[in-house]
Structure 1
Amino acid sequence: MKLIEVIEGKVRLLVPDPSQFSREGKFDPAWSPVFYNPRMTFNRDVSVLAVSVVSPPSVLDAMSATGVRGIRYVVESRIEGEVILNDKNPVSVELISKNLELNGVKGKVVKSDANSLMHQVKVGYTDLDPFGSPAPFLFSAISSLRRKGVLGVTATDLSALEGKSRTSSRRKYGVSGSKLSYSKEAGLRVLLAKIAREASVQEKGIKPLMGFYHDYYYRLFVKMEDGAKRADRSLESLGTLYECGLCGYSFMSVEGCERKCPVCGGELKYYGPAWVGELNDQEFLEEMKNKLTGFSYLQNFEMISKLLERLGMENRFGPYYRVDVLASRLKVNMPSMFSLLQCLDGVRTHFDPRGFKTSREFPEVIECIKMSSART
């Protein structure tokens, strides 16, 4: 296996040469004997910043592959406690050791099944970045955390989380209902609900610190809060997501028996169970903003800054609306987002370029779309 050296953040990495595993000029990281995906650099850049704010006493990188996350946490997040880098692939284990040596950092390299290892350790922060769904690993990942520990989770199985595949949604996440127009947000809320339910079995509550959608994945940072009462309180934040199939009104409710739209009386589509609380902790976002100045070297510095700003603005509102969906229902031209947001005093959402959030009542939303459309 030929290796090449790449630079990510402040670390140097040996990774398999993509040209050796390309097919007809195309390359998929899954074809390589050790997985390394450059498209996840934004994910890892955000994670380095978030972990520096968490400042955990110890870290487990449960599926390390090249070791890039764990090594970046040592070098850039400045984790001084034990960092465990695990992978069940013996080729990965060998490469992780080489990359640790290349960067002159220490880490405990383990060759183990991720679920098995996570049931055996106790750390301050566990990073779970599987190839696909995190669902089979969530219970053991939560088990691996010390009191007030934080879990970092990546999920790429959007079809299951958003409701595109009903059978996968039910099988992996225990979700019923149908896909909604604000499916990108729905998927993140479903993932949080799954984490809350898995944590509650272990008498732990959850506190979402930060969550976002980017490119083709979700990324979450969730703090555990020990105790049966905290677990019960978290379960009280689970509910159902609704959307009227007639007028497009959308809302969330802890009640699971809504059938008629409160605005027009139309039939409601539903999706859940889903987390209906806040997706981000405002204080955590502010701490990330404050620390970001020390990470100006990141190639995604500006993108991260904009994301943090947008997440803070979005946090005050419920589910987003899609301007194209509402305009289509009203049979009017799609208005410009700029004029619509001015009319509604609303904000864009990072989930969808056609999405917006507002605290205005739905009849006002409809009127603003009509007025803004007339100016188009």
Structure 2
Amino acid sequence: EFAADGAQALEKARAIHPIAICLDIMLPEKDGWQVLHDLKSDPETTDAGVIICSALDNPDMGFALGTADYCVKPLSRRHLLDKLRRLQQAFPRKRSQPQVLIADSDAGSAASTAAMLQRQGFSVATATGGRQALAMALKLSPDIAILDLMLPGDSCFDVISALRRHPLTIGTSIIITTVKELTEEQRELLDRRVQKVVVKGSNRDLLLEEIFRLEKLHPVRAQLVDEETGLFNRRYFHKKLAEEVARAQRHALDLSVLLAGINGAAADVMPGVAGILRNNMRASDHLARYGVSSFAILLPETTGEAGLAVAKKVVALLGKANLGADISISIAAAASPDGTISSEQMILRLEQELAILRQAGGNGIRAIN
């Protein structure tokens, strides 16, 4: 597909969901920088791999905004094809069959449900206890989990809480099966955490109908994890930032956000960087891989001054880490007292500031007022 201007490029990207987009910077209507920002901000197009092909030699700006690769014109056809092949190899492959995990205290019931789903083309795994179910879920990252309310071992509620907290299972759809009506307390505990409650022994077609309904959601269900680092990804970060800004506005809370760029590092360094950041965050903080060589840190109920202190700590930690590469760290920091800045305004200003810092080179921290 070919687009003659920036607006048309965005329209076609949203319509066909391409694996790769070759993007020039000097475009009419919207320039390439704005198109790249819009592509990476939209859940429908954020996973597309963007290769900038431009006469402008500004790769730092491109990588700060999330491009997968940068080519300076003129470039040969062979060079571009090599870039596209590498991008295709890195593109996450979809499962050919939806994965369902069945956790049931009754092994016979689990086997019967599994056989029914396998006949319908689902890939099925079974567990008979809470601990086993959780371990299998973290290993398989299932599309759908069917959990017996009376699971032995860890309780069903403990398993649900763990699934909803972990980045590998936060998007898993959950169906609860039970032999009896739920109490009011149980309903409150399950509210908004599961997709459906089904009474055991009822018409099996109802369960199958619900599974098919959920399965249809998976092609558009947000993929929330960066497979290389195990962190939440850019899509999750945008979602969580909007939620935290809204919460800050409702309750007049402070909120700080850091966007950190790792300069001069090869891609194989990023898992090590992710591990250092993960091990030094508070439980309430949200860490995500934002771009090829950048990370976002969301700090709820944190003042701008405290956010800058975290930024300095990050620079110090990564500066003394033995990552096998000579790197520098650029961090743009933004604070939203009382949630007065929208999530869109905040992230756009952070991206712009980080691009400026990375062009300057070396370690640097700058706060956005």
TM-score range, shorter chain: under 0.3
TM-score (norm 2): 0.26
TM-score (norm 1): 0.26
Structure richer in strand, relative to its length: 1
